[in-house]
Structure 1
Amino acid sequence: MPILYIIGAVGESVAVGEDALGVVENMETQKVLKNELNELLAFLSMRSEDEKRDTSSDVFIRGFEKRPVEISKV
C-alpha cells in the first residue's frame, strides 16, 4: 500500500486507511467520479442532438442570410 504525504495549510501528515488510497481505488471517490462522468455524458449527448437538429431560429437565420442585397440592410 503506497503512503501519501499531504502538505497543506494544516501541516504535514501521513495519509492512512481510506485517505491513503488513490482516486480510483477509493470507493467513495470512485462513485463521485462515476456520477460526474455520467452527468457529463448526458449533457454532451443532449448537446450533440441539439446541434444536429434544426430549430426555428436556425431556419430564421438561414432565411436572413439569403435575402437579396437590396433588402439585406433593412
Structure 2
Amino acid sequence: MSKDTRPRPGTPEFRSWLLEDGKKFVDKLFSAEKPEGFEEDGYIAGPTKGEKLTPEKSAAEDAAIDKAQKRAHLKVEK
C-alpha cells in the first residue's frame, strides 16, 4: 500500500497494516550483511572495510582540511 491507499489512523485496519509494514522493515534490518570485524569491534557505522579507517590513509586529506579551515577567515583580493 502507498500513502494514498493506507488505512486511516486509529482504525483496526491501520494497526494491522502498520504491524505488517514494521515487520518488513525489521526483517530487512536484521537480515543485512554484517561487516567483517563486527563481532569483535561492534561498530555499526562507517566504511565496511576497517583499513579505510587508518590514519595513514587519511593523513594527507586531514592536513588539507585543517589548512583550509585555518585559511577560511582570509579573503583573496585581486
Which TM-score bucket, shorter chain as reference?
0.3 to 0.5
Structure richer in strand, relative to its length:
1
TM-score when scaled to structure 1?
A: 0.35
Bigger radius of gyration: 1
Question: What TM-score comes out, normalization by structure 2 length?
Answer: 0.33
